[in-house]
Copies of this chain bind each other. A is one copy, B any other.
Amino acid sequence: MIRRRGLMLVLSSPSGAGKTSIARALLKQDSQLTMSVSATTRRRRPGEVEGKDYFFMDEAAFKTKINQRYFLEYAEVFDHHYGTPAEVVGKTLEGGHDVLFDIDWQGTQQIKARARQDLVSIFVLPPSTAELERRLLTRAQDTAEVVARRMAKAADEMSHYPEYDYVIINHDLAQSVAAVQTILDAERLRIERQQGLSDFVKQLRDASSN
């Protein structure tokens, strides 16, 4: 019997390129795909569920776990830590399901260094400079300083696109979702993700050398 090993799908993009909408649509249409659940040191908000939205822990526990290589990747955002528990992801992959990550180039590099074989990385680009500017400037309540910071961050993030396996230019949401789904379906057919092939081929070879 051939059993599939799951993969880790990373979507990265500059702010406003449409990554979040793509991720949401994928999770809705693909039952084999689940969103990665992060550990975090920030306070739990009303309605958030431990183990579903986040794994909540304090700063000391988080730092201990960093040293134990508990996290596949981790980062600090606005004074809080966020990290992906490696063991949780590993069990999902072993169970034949795929895990979706919405992380930046630094998180992607950390996963690449640790589990290259399970990683499929896609960089999503906005369709044009005009569209990117429109999206970056769009929230009227932001201060000039916030907008400037967001723009600088987008420029920095985009400089890392060559580190990814695939690039999608997001002209149209439905087309981009279909493109990511196609990549996902193809990557599932990669030889390293089909477990039990070696026994299956041995049977075939025995049958043809009788």
Interface residue ranges, A against B (CB under 8 Å): 2, 14, 123, 125-126, 128-130, 132-133, 136, 151-152, 154-155, 158-159, 161-162, 164-169, 179, 182-183, 185-187, 189-191, 194, 197-198, 200-201, 203-210
Contact = CB atoms under 8 A, between A and B. Distances in A.
5 contacts: A132-B204, A133-B207, A151-B210, A154-B208, A155-B205
A166 B182 contact: no
Is the contact region of chain A dominated by helix, strand, or loop, or is it mixed? helix
A189 B179 contact: yes
Contacts of A152: 208-209
Contacts of A126: 204
Query: Ordered nearest first, which 4 A-B pairs have the shortest CB separation?
Result: A186-B186, A129-B207, A151-B208, A155-B205
Contacts of A158: 201, 204-205, 208
Given A129-B204, A165-B191, A182-B182, 12 more contacts: A125-B201, A128-B204, A129-B203, A132-B204, A136-B208, A152-B208, A155-B204, A158-B204, A166-B186, A166-B191, A182-B189, A186-B187
